[in-house]
Amino acid sequence: MKRVLLKSTAFIRAARRLVKKNPDAAASVREVLMSLAEDAFEAGLKTHKLKGDLAGSWACSAGYDLRIVFEFVEHEGAEAVLLQTIGTHDEVY
């Protein structure tokens, strides 16, 4: 089941900042987002549930030190993925 990806304004800002700093990351981020829409629990994404301040959210790996934080939400009667932010491990946690 393919999920719709919904981008928060915080995600859009963080993604623009990331690509501006590291243009080579754009292609790999795009691939990870396509995989996330197809199967959020694909082994290569290393998807995991978050605790503490980010409880209720999930994160997946988009590279060695790059993480995408997201939530599963309802959108138009179907399950969707709300992309919250993207950045290095230290930036998003």
Q: Sign of the C-alpha dihedral, residues 13, 5, 87, 52? A: positive
Percentage of residues in the chain having pLDDT higher than 90? 92
Domains of the chain plus CATH, in order, are: 4-92 (3.30.2310.20)
Q: Which residue has the tokens 């790059």?
A: 66
- Comparing C-alpha atoms, which of 9, 6, 10 is closest to residue 37? 6
What's the pLDDT tens digit per position in 65-92? Answer: 999 999 999 999 999 999 999 999 999 9
| Neighbour-count burial of 9, counting CB atoms closer than 10 A to its CB (0-12 exposed, 13-18 middle, 19+ buried) | exposed
**pLDDT at 63 (0 to 100):** 86
The pLDDT confidence band at residue 31, using thresholds 50, 70 and 90, is very high
**pLDDT at 76 (0 to 100):** 93
